Structure 1
Amino acid sequence: MAKRASTQESVALAFELLKRIPRSRKVTASELRDQLESVGIVRDIRSIQRNLETLCEHFNITRDERSKPYGYSWNKCGEGLALPNLSSHEALLLSMAEDYLANLLPANVMSSLDGFFAEARHKLNPSCDNSKDRNWLKKVRVVSETQPLLPPKLDDGVFKAVSEGLYNDRLLNLEYHNARQQTRTALVMPLGLAQQGCRMYLVCRFDGYDNERALALHRISKAVVSSFGFERPKDFQLSQYDADGRFGFGEGDKCKVTFNITKQAGFHLLETPLSHDQIIEENEQDYFITATVIDSLRLKMWVRGFGDDIWNVSYEK
């Protein structure tokens, strides 16, 4: 039985290595070791090198020995194991996904895709015949509606632990500080991860409580994944948490907001309404607007942002 388990592990390791060896560039044994460690497969560098030597003997894999560390890649002209070759369109999609989804995918998933992302970057380099796809990256951009801010610094170890706990439904032991710079420790149930502008938030339940809180990820100084799992609350949905205005410092209570706003400042509300039941009455110099929205601090801040261009503001529960 022990020998059989060893054989299964060897075959599994070989397949993991084969998946990560590219065609259009070279990868080193150290890079492959790091990629495997990111998905929980820990092997020393000599073990990786020995397996690569074996794979070179049985597959169309070449080892570039012109300089150290040696680089490995699939032989482009070989007829060995057929691996998918990224098209320029697929490379474009992966490149955009790496930019915009980096903080929304579990750390282990992002790490396991490193080989694909690297292949995509290589595919889109100027030496390849894909100028239209490469230039597309310069033609699109997600822009901010507010004053741009630099993102706060995130601890890589914290993000990895939080995403692992969230991915595997395991409790987290956290050490964090609040807005008053007070240090706290807590055992939490991770329920969701959300990006708001340049900030990341962990939605969780503290041990002993049945309500949810959002912790700014950059305020977490230490996160340890517990060996204890948990069953996700059936009454929690991250989409509903957002719809209730919880990321805008609301409690899910709705109110009817009414106000007058100058036509210049309020014209965009004709194109992008506050709510489905929004009613606009047009006056000579302004609009009178009624809408049912989530009552939150974010709503009040949005209203205050118009300054003297808005007046007669009322919030009715």
Structure 2
Amino acid sequence: MGKRSGTLETTLLAIELLRRIPRNRKVTAEELHAQVKEAGFDRDLRTIQRQLDLLSEHFHIERDTRTKPYGYSWQKNASGLSVPGLTLQESLLLRLAEEHLRNLLPAHLLKSMDGFFAQARQNLDPLGPPSLERDWPAKVRVVATSQPLLPPKIDPTVFETVCEALYGNRYLTVTYKNAGGGVTTSRVTPLGLAQQGPRMYLICRFDGYDDNRALAIHRVQAAEGSTLTFKRPKGFDLKQYDDEGRFGFGDGKKVRLTFRIDKDHGHFLLESRLSEDQSVKDLGDDYEISATVVDSAMLEWWLRGFGDAVSRVRRLKIRP
């Protein structure tokens, strides 16, 4: 492929910047510089600043000069930059992705998608022409499996810093307040991010230790990313960490669990099994369930939740 002309490169850069300027919040030239660099535009910061100043003169872009670094955003009633070829079906997928994956994507990637998300929301505006795609979000919902709880408040600056350090494999210094009220400041190696119900957890390793810990992000009072990078531990696997019951307050040890449950409460276990090797005995009014599971506090809470409907609980330890 031939080299693109300077005029074409400048035009493509301008379009890329326009797509990434958000609504309802400010973005700095430094942030846009990092985003377009990842998109393949190798320009210095001063070039990006000049482009933004030029675009602000010709488009409905607000340039906030009250504090440095300056912030840029589309004006409230501006139409913005439309994303060509974004169908209603694609808009629907993007809308659902924005709603359900917002806390699981790196902050800078979410920012780079702002233009697409805004266009998707506009395409699915319920005040627009009737369509089956516009009706779909009102037809689907993720429902809670336990008592719904409001998510704890997370400092957005802390969350963004944590995500950026995790994404870039960079060390992170966190000030953490534990459940007992104690506050410590430590350098950690961020390894994973998990959402459990309304809570978000950072899985990490503290300096000088090789065991993995889960920190509730809403308890992180301050976070500072380092410029130093690390190599991810070869033995760490987030899926395995979850499979071992670590988020259920277990230590990964498995047991052969056997218990009786009355049929009114236990029928669902015939459809949603506890494990692949689950076995069921029909005892008339009860079922006897046997399954290999990870022993954890969450398992204990689950069993106790059935009250008198569950009896004769036995756990047989399984040797590794």
Give the TM interval when normalised to the shorter protein: 0.7 to 0.9
Q: Give the deviation of 1:85 after TM superposition.
A: 2.5
Measure the CA separation in 2 of the matches of 1:48 and 1:120.
Answer: 26
**Which residue in 1 is equivalent to 2:152?**
152
Measure the CA separation in 2 of the matches of 1:191 and 1:219.
Answer: 18
Measure the CA separation in 1 of the matches of 2:100 and 2:308.
Answer: 37
**Which residue in 2 is equivalent to 1:185?**
185
Asked if the contact 1:256/1:292 (under 8 Å) is kept, the reply is yes
State how 1:76-115 maps to structure 2 within 5 Å. 84-115=84-115
What secondary structure is seen at the aligned counterpart in 2 of 1:129? coil
**Which residue in 2 is equivalent to 1:282?**
282
Q: Deviations over 1:208-253 (max 9, x none)?
A: 0111010001000111001111000000000000000000011111
Measure the CA separation in 1 of the matches of 2:99 and 2:10.
Answer: 29
Identify the range of structure 1 (138-147 vs 43-52) with the bigger mean alpha-carbon deviation. Answer: 43-52
Q: 2:264 is aligned with what amino acid?
A: Q
**Which residue in 1 is equivalent to 2:50?**
47
Q: 2:116 is aligned with what amino acid?
A: F
**Which residue in 1 is equivalent to 2:162?**
162
State how 1:234-313 maps to structure 2 within 5 Å. 234-313=234-313
Q: 2:92 is aligned with what amino acid?
A: L
Measure the CA separation in 2 of the matches of 1:30 and 1:305.
Answer: 45
Measure the CA separation in 2 of the matches of 1:44 and 1:20.
Answer: 12
**Which residue in 2 is equivalent to 1:37?**
31
Measure the CA separation in 2 of the matches of 1:185 and 1:28.
Answer: 34
Distance 1:315 1:138, change over 3 A: same
**Which residue in 2 is equivalent to 1:216?**
216
Distance 1:11 1:210, change over 3 A: farther
User: Segments of 4+ in structure 1 off by > 4 A?
Assistant: 10-14, 27-36, 41-46, 68-74
TM-score by length of 2: 0.82
Residue 126 of structure 2 corresponds to residue 126 of structure 1: yes
Asked if the contact 2:22/2:115 (under 8 Å) is kept, the reply is no
Structure 2: runs of 5 or more not aligned: 36-44, 62-73
What secondary structure is seen at the aligned counterpart in 2 of 1:128? coil
Q: Give the deviation of 1:95 after TM superposition.
A: 0.6
State how 1:1-80 maps to structure 2 within 5 Å. 15-21=12-18, 33-34=27-28, 37=31, 40=34, 47-52=50-55, 63=59, 71=78, 73=80
Q: Give the deviation of 1:51 after TM superposition.
A: 3.0
What secondary structure is seen at the aligned counterpart in 1 of 2:120? helix
**Which residue in 2 is equivalent to 1:60?**
none
Distance 1:136 1:28, change over 3 A: closer
What secondary structure is seen at the aligned counterpart in 1 of 2:158? helix
Structure 1: runs of 5 or more not aligned: 1-6, 57-62, 77-82
Q: Deviations over 1:98-128 (max 9, x none)?
A: 1000000001111111111001111111343
Identify the range of structure 1 (119-128 vs 208-217) with the bigger mean alpha-carbon deviation. Answer: 119-128
What secondary structure is seen at the aligned counterpart in 2 of 1:276? coil
Asked if the contact 1:14/1:51 (under 8 Å) is kept, the reply is no
Distance 1:73 1:314, change over 3 A: closer
Aligned residues: 290
What secondary structure is seen at the aligned counterpart in 2 of 1:40? helix
Q: Deviations over 1:52-104 (max 9, x none)?
A: 279x6xxxxxx469xx9594756x9xxxxxx6321011111111111000000
Identify the range of structure 1 (296-305 vs 118-127) with the bigger mean alpha-carbon deviation. Answer: 118-127
Distance 1:72 1:313, change over 3 A: closer
Q: Give the deviation of 1:196 after TM superposition.
A: 0.4
Distance 1:259 1:214, change over 3 A: same
What secondary structure is seen at the aligned counterpart in 1 of 2:126? coil
Q: Give the deviation of 1:284 after TM superposition.
A: 1.1
**Which residue in 1 is equivalent to 2:137?**
137
Report the identity percentage: 45
Measure the CA separation in 2 of the matches of 1:35 and 1:127.
Answer: 34
Distance 1:39 1:285, change over 3 A: farther
Asked if the contact 1:124/1:130 (under 8 Å) is kept, the reply is no
Identify the range of structure 1 (33-42 vs 280-289) with the bigger mean alpha-carbon deviation. Answer: 33-42
Q: 1:209 is aligned with what amino acid?
A: Y
**Which residue in 1 is equivalent to 2:204?**
204
